[in-house]
Amino acid sequence: MRQLTALVAAAEPACGTTLSAALEHVGFTVRTCDDHAQALQRGADECPDLVVIRLSPPDVAGLELLRRLRLHTDAPVVVLGLQCDEGTDVRALELGADDYVALPCSLDLLQARLRAVLRRLRPVSDDRRQLIIVGDVTVDVRVSGARRSSSVEVLRRSGDVEVLIRK
């Protein structure tokens, strides 16, 4: 399995060092950026698996970095910002952040949140069922089977078209 990479955008070197250590602890290879221009360039060029942005108030530029990164990458983005910076968490999530961690927080909490993102990044092993649930329909992707409430339905493939057949 290939090593996952994380891009850290933190203006303060001490913060970048702490974030790098936390990410390395949960399995990432880390690239740090001292400024937003470098982060945007690396985000577009290097296709990281995860991006962490540390906002420093007032940090409109950090939110702009998030907006612009979303034009170049679908990688999960975790934004770190101050608890007292009301509204920034909502704006970050609306601009495409996958998580917002209010600071100060414990290193344990930060690592737990990063592990949660890591779980979503890792592919499901072949021996586990892959289920997609929409309303009352559950589709098992691995066996091309589906269940709706109590009746069983089966997916059949015909070329590139999948047809749901009621039994």
Task: Express each pLDDT in 110-136 by its tens digit.
Answer: 888 888 877 876 655 544 456 666 666
152 and 112, same domain (yes or no): no
pLDDT at position 114: 83
User: For residue 9, which of 65, 49, 93, 60 has the smallest C-alpha distance?
Assistant: 65
- Please check whether residue 126 lies inside any domain of the structure: no
The residue segments making up the domain with residue 87 are 4-121
Whole-prediction pTM value? 0.69
84 and 149, same domain (yes or no): no
Cα 96 to Cα 137: distance, rounded to the nearest angstrom: 28
Q: How many angstroms from the chain centroid is the CA of residue 151?
A: 35
Looking up residue 69, the CATH number of its domain turns out to be: 3.40.50.2300
160 and 108, same domain (yes or no): no
33 and 63, same domain (yes or no): yes
Provide, rounded to the nearest whole percent, the portion of the chain with pLDDT above 70.
Answer: 68
Question: How many folded domains does the chain comprise?
Answer: 2
- Please check whether residue 110 lies inside any domain of the structure: yes
Give the confidence band of 161 by pLDDT, cuts at 50, 70, 90: very low
Contact 101, 110 (CB under 8 A): yes
87 and 67, same domain (yes or no): yes
Residue 164, pLDDT above cutoff 70: no
pLDDT at position 160: 46
